[in-house]
Amino acid sequence: MVSLIKPEFLKPGDAVGVVAPARSISETELIPFKELMEKEGFKVVYSKNLLGEHNQFSGSIEERVTDLHRMIMDPEVKAIFTARGGYGTAQLLLHLDWNLIRKIPKWIVGFSDASVLHAAIGKYMESIHGVMPYSFAMKEPQNDISFRHMINIIRGEEVNYNIPDHPYNFPGMVKGELIGGNLSVLYSLTGSAFEPDYDRKILFIEDLDEYVYHIDRMIMNFELRNIFQRISGLIVGDFSDIHDNPKPFGKEALEIIAERAHKYKVPAMFGFPAGHKKNNFPLIFGRVSTLTIQEGNNSLVMF
């Protein structure tokens, strides 16, 4: 197992940067995050084009790439938050200077469309899947405990989880690197140089606003590529606002995933509080962690 780069944890007075590699965001939507981080003793630095608009994006591809590069090079900034999700981060992949990002390691924090960065960076560096500025502006804002966990993690404090039993769980105890993110994003990276290495990893997945048959298509793709035989464990977060056609597909999203976990005897934890709902507990991607699933004892130890 290759030892991944671990960015330095933050100290009081350090700065966190905010970039928008996908959709645009307003200054008003950023205020609660800025106030929280300043209250916690951090400075907040906005990228040049953070409040820009270029169609649905915060800027052109060049502007968004430049913003991320500048945040990497800013010696004051110790962690970089993606402002929000949506779509657009994948457009940057072929334009980013990966040697620069590797040379100056910093925590990249975000979820949803930010799964693109987690997958690409995860080949050599840890990152944090978790709440971001737009989490405060969502229709159902993500909660204080999710932000508290995130702040504790970037400070280097120990955060581990105990999760209630779930009827779809498949028991077992495994150790491996955490990887994953949004299922649709992972599916979109199939066959590319930026697709994660799934071998012996603990895979986390979540998704939002998909049809049940779309979920089945993506899970079928994972099965056809032997991913369920390759991973060591599975963590299933929220599958929110999932739709069905007037003529029902016949199964729910979690049922589709559970069938594969049980078929291939993958230790699987369902109901993990991460994704697009109120709870969005952060995960340290790339961190060698221990996943335990047994009745009355379901835990994820990352430290």
Q: Confirm or reject CATH 1.10.1380.10 for domain 161-277+285-301, answering yes or no.
A: no
Residue 12 clears pLDDT 90, i.e. is over it: yes
Instruction: Give 250-259 pLDDT, tens digit per residue.
Output: 999 999 999 9
| Structure confidence at residue 71 (pLDDT) | 98
CA-only gyration radius of the chain, Å? 18
User: How many angstroms separate the Cα of 34 from the Cα of each of 42, 98, 220?
Assistant: 9, 28, 41
Q: Which two tokens stand for residue 210?
A: 């998909």
Instruction: Give 260-298 pLDDT, tens digit per residue.
Output: 999 999 999 999 999 999 999 999 999 999 999 999 999
pLDDT bracket for residue 96 (50, 70, 90): very high
pLDDT bracket for residue 3 (50, 70, 90): confident
Residue 248 clears pLDDT 80, i.e. is over it: yes
Residue 164 clears pLDDT 80, i.e. is over it: yes
Gap between the terminal Cα atoms of the chain: 17
Mean pLDDT of the region 72-88 = 98
Taking the C-alpha atoms of residue 228 and residue 252, their distance in angstroms, rounded to an integer, is 19
pLDDT bracket for residue 67 (50, 70, 90): very high
pLDDT bracket for residue 1 (50, 70, 90): low
| Structure confidence at residue 198 (pLDDT) | 98
Q: Beta strand pairing status for 297-301 and 161-162? A: antiparallel
Instruction: Give 42-64 pLDDT, tens digit per residue.
Output: 999 999 999 999 999 999 999 99
Mean pLDDT of the region 218-236 = 98
Q: What pTM, to 2 d.p., does this model score?
A: 0.97
Q: Beta strand pairing status for 288-294 and 172-182? A: antiparallel
Taking the C-alpha atoms of residue 289 and residue 112, their distance in angstroms, rounded to an integer, is 22
Query: Which CATH code for domain 15-154?
Result: 3.40.50.10740
Angle between helix 212-224 and 253-263 (nearest 10): 20
Is 111 within 8 Å of 129 (Cβ atoms)?
yes
The C-alpha angle with vertex 262 and arms to 244 and 122, in degrees rounded to 5, equals 80
Residue 53's CB: how many other CB atoms inside 10 A?
13
Taking the C-alpha atoms of residue 98 and residue 193, their distance in angstroms, rounded to an integer, is 12
What stretch(es) of the chain map to CATH 3.40.50.10740? Answer: 15-154
More reliable by pLDDT, 3 or 184: 184
Mean pLDDT of the region 90-107 = 98
φ and ψ of 292, to 5 deg:
-120, 125
Mean pLDDT of the region 172-180 = 98
Mean pLDDT of the chain: 97
What stretch(es) of the chain map to CATH 3.50.30.60? Answer: 161-277+285-301
Percent of the chain predicted with pLDDT > 70:
100
Instruction: Give 105-157 pLDDT, tens digit per residue.
Output: 999 999 999 999 999 999 999 999 999 999 999 999 999 999 999 999 999 99
Residue 60's CB: how many other CB atoms inside 10 A?
14
